[in-house]
Amino acid sequence: MPETVTLEVTRYSPERDAQPSLEKFEVPLRKDWVVLDALNHIKDKVDGSLTYRWSCRMGICGSCGMMVNGEPKLTCATFLSAYTRGKPIRIEPLRYFPVVRDLVVELSDFVTKLTQVMPWLVRKQEKAIAEGEYLQTPEGLESYRQYAMCINCTLCYAACPVYGLDPVFIGPAALALAQRYNMDSRDQGAEERMAHLAHPEGVWGCTFVGECTRVCPKHVDPAGAIQQYKIKAALDWFKSFVMPRGEQ
Amino acid sequence: MNTAKAPSAYTEFHPRWYRKRVSTWWWLGSGPYLRFILRELSSIFVALSVAMTLAQLWALRFGADAYSRFQESMRSPWLMALGVLTLAFTVFHSITWFNLAPRALTVRIGGRRVPEIMIALPNFIGWAAVSALIAWLVVRG
Amino acid sequence: MSKRSNDGFFWSLFSVGGVISAFLIPIHVFLFALALPLGWLPHGGYEHLLALVRTPVGRVYLFVLCSFSLFHWAHRFRFTLYDGLQIKHLNEAVFAACYGTALIGTVLAAYLVLTL
């Protein structure tokens, strides 16, 4: 009789349920299986109505984020064997987001905020095609490369108590991605972004809990990006006294 | 198909999302959250230390007798206990502060980032040096 | 869009206060709350301490220590109240209470170091 592990999975169907509940499933405990494999097994063989997001199954698309035993994790990168034998593993939808159904959460708040910070190269002056490419040194790339690794999995939002308590907070990933562009030598949009960033719902809402950095599967260190931006924004505040800027 | 009438939970094309309210005790939910709140509460003990310093200045102002009465009251068991607690929390503040500072103050030399320990360590050494200096200034004479 | 937030100023006070309090507060607590009242260290005496605080450097040092440390507390405590007690709806009252207290302490510190 092959060994099994018990998964306690959140089920929530808005037509039926007033609130989510946990359903138990026995799943084969294979040493090379990740949580996503277990979920796929359940959907394939046990209950086809189990609903969850996943795609690349290799930790790059950011779709499969869920809470595993209370920790935000990419389920495609979380091995069943990493958990204590004999104890059930609890799978819940990503924290601090509204639950749509079972393990699927509503992420449009994050998408809206990401768009607000303008995560693309902003130029005051576009170069003509004839002038050639924008050049960047390896050191220039190095200064923002870490923040470019973000896969928008929103595990950091599930870890951030500030976002949980007050969802108007722009949040770690959006701020880290804003910094990724602010620090790109080809970008000229730092001032435009500042209105959203140097704002109580932007960086000033962050209290450097640091959980976002701890749970990030791509080692982006959004907490570090935010603190660095705070210094920049604070200096800018002082500068605006010494050299008041005119109306844009 | 029956479209929604109150109080149905399901409106066609508008499923009711479930939003869980964050408990007031959220910070007891994990080790990192608890350590974070303790770190933040250390600021209360920083403020208490300032209160002690102001009380001390007040006592100094009113003469040697006032000052020895100040010292005497600092020896009370409650204030001693508070003193120990304050020392613990203010040291906790210093340690967490110096450990986190390198995340905000990144230093690059020749394009490569200086490792965090190289920024934290001088801070800790400076802390020891400054503390020794102040202790020496107060104690000698 | 929003007008420039003043949080940059208060965060700067918090930051500088954090550095100052991290370097200086523990030794003050150790000396004046524990070591000296308990007689663990030879005491310079009342006259010696008074002479120290009466120097220009001593006065400035004490004022800076007290004021910035209080503003460090004020900012951190303000956000702890928001997050810990979830009372963001009272944010004007919290703001006034925190920075107001720090301001009162600053004024008191100024009075004491100037009149010693």
What domains appear along chain A, each with residue ranges and CATH number?
Answer: 4-105 (3.10.20.30), 108-242 (1.10.1060.10)
Which among A18, A98, A221 is the nearest to B19, CB-wise?
A98
Task: Name the least confident of A80-94, A164-178, B110-124.
Answer: B110-124
pLDDT at A195 over 90: no
A115-135 confidence digits (pLDDT tens): 999 999 999 988 999 999 999
Tell if the CB–CB gap between C12 and A238 is shorter than 8 Å.
Answer: yes
The residue in chain B having the minimum alpha-carbon distance to the alpha carbon of residue A11 is B18
B100 with A214: Cβ contact below 8 A: no
Residues 16-75 of C with CB under 8 A from A: none
Answer with the residue of higher pLDDT: A202 or B15. A202
Selecting from B61, B64, B134 the residue whose C-beta is nearest the C-beta of C27 gives B134
The answer, for A198 touching chain C at a CB cutoff of 8 Å, is yes
Q: Which chains, if any, share at least 3 CB pairs under 8 A with chain C? A: A, B
Q: How many domains are contained in chain C? A: 1
Chain C positions touching A162 (Cβ under 8 A) are 83
Nearest to A140 by CA among A196, A190, A202, A187: A187
Instruction: Enter the ipTM.
Output: 0.92
Mean pLDDT of B115-135: 94
Backbone angles phi, psi at A186, to 5 degrees: -85, -10
Residue C96 counted as domain residue: yes
Q: Is the pLDDT of residue A248 over 50?
A: no
Give a yes or no: residue C3 inside a domain: no
pLDDT for position B4? 40
The count of CB pairs under 8 A between chains B and C is 157
Question: Alpha-carbon dihedral of residues B70, B73, B78, B79, nearest 10 degrees?
Answer: 20
- Quote the mean pLDDT of chain A: 94
**A151-183 tens-digit pLDDT:** 999 999 999 999 999 899 999 999 999 999 999
pLDDT at B72 over 60: yes
Backbone angles phi, psi at B93, to 5 degrees: -60, -50
- Using an 8 Å CB-CB cutoff, list chain B residues near A164: 22, 26
Show which subunits contact A, needing at least 3 CB pairs below 8 angstroms: B, C
CB contact under 8 Å between B32 and A214, yes or no, is: yes
The pLDDT value recorded for residue B10 is: 60
What pLDDT does residue A1 have?
61
Minimal C-alpha gap between B19 and chain C (Å) = 17
- Evaluate if residue B130 carries a pLDDT over 80: yes
- The SS3 of residue A110 is helix
- Separation between Cα atoms, residue B15 and residue B97, nearest integer Å: 46
The residue range of the domain holding C27 is 10-115
pLDDT tops 70 at residue C3: no
Q: Does the structure show a pLDDT above 90 at C16?
A: yes
Q: Which residues does chain A have within 8 Å of residue C79's beta carbon, measured at their own beta carbons?
A: 207
CB pair distance less than 8 Å for B37 and C80: yes
Chain B neighbors (3+ CB pairs < 8 Å): A, C
Interface residues from chain B to A (CB-CB < 8 Å): 9-10, 15-20, 22, 26-27, 29-30, 32-33, 36, 40, 100, 103-106, 108, 110-113
Averaged pLDDT, A129-157: 95
A14–B22 CB contact, under 8 Å: no
Amino acid letter for position C4: R
Region C43-58: mean pLDDT is 88
Residue type, A142: E
C-alpha C108/C-alpha C49 separation (Å) is: 19
C47: chain B residues, CB-CB within 8 Å: 64
Tell me which of B27-31, B50-54, C2-6 is least confident: C2-6
Q: Mean per-residue pLDDT for B58-74?
A: 91
Q: What is the pLDDT of residue B141?
A: 54
Residue C5, in any domain of the structure:
no
Distance from CA of A180 to the nearest CA of B (A): 15
pLDDT of C86: 67
Q: Please report whether residue C111 resides in a domain.
A: yes
Integer CA distances (angstroms), A159 to A70, A222, C12, in order: 10, 12, 26
Mean pLDDT over B30-57 rounds to 96
Question: Nearest CB to B57: which of C53, C77, C79?
Answer: C53
Task: Choose from A10, A11, A15, A106 for mutation: most chain B CBs within 10 A.
Answer: A15
| In chain C, % of residues over pLDDT 90 | 69
By Cβ distance, the residue of C30, C36, C49 closest to B87 is: C30
Q: Does B66 touch chain C (CB under 8 A)?
A: no
User: C12: nearest CA in chain A?
Assistant: A234
pLDDT of residue B99: 95
Inside any domain, residue C102: yes
Instruction: Note the pLDDT tens digit of each residue in A201-217.
Output: 899 999 999 999 999 99
Which CATH number covers residue C84? Answer: 1.20.1300.10
Hey, is the C-beta of A214 within 8 angstroms of any chain B C-beta?
yes
What pLDDT, on the 0 to 100 scale, is given for residue B8?
Answer: 53
Question: Does the residue C1 lie in any domain?
Answer: no
pLDDT digits (tens, 9 = 90+) for C75-106: 999 999 887 676 666 778 889 999 999 999 99
Q: How far apart are CA C88 and CA A63, in angstroms?
A: 32
Question: Across-strand partners of C94?
Answer: none
What pLDDT score does C55 carry?
A: 94
Residue of A229, A182, A183, A186 whose CA lies nearest to A205: A229
Domain architecture of chain B: domains with CATH: 23-139 (1.20.1300.10)
The string of pLDDT tens digits covering residues B86-109 is 999 999 999 999 999 999 988 888
**Contact predicate C66/C109, CB 8 Å:** yes
B21-41 pLDDT per residue, tens: 998 899 998 999 999 999 999
Cα–Cα distance measured from residue A222 to residue A92, given in angstroms and rounded to the nearest whole number? 24
Give me the pLDDT at residue A20, please.
Answer: 96
DSSP sequence for C2-69: -PPPTHHHHHHHHHHHHHHHHHHHHHHHIIIIIITTTT-S---HHHHHHHHHHSHHHHHHHHHHHHHH
- Report pLDDT for B5: 41
How many beta-carbon pairs below 8 A join chains A and B? 74
Q: Inspect the interface and report whether the beta carbons of A210 and B100 lie closer than 8 Å.
A: yes
Rounded mean pLDDT of A2-19?
A: 93
Distance CA B44, CA A53 (A): 44
In-domain check, residue C4? no
Mutual angle of helices C91-115 and C56-84, in 10-degree steps: 170
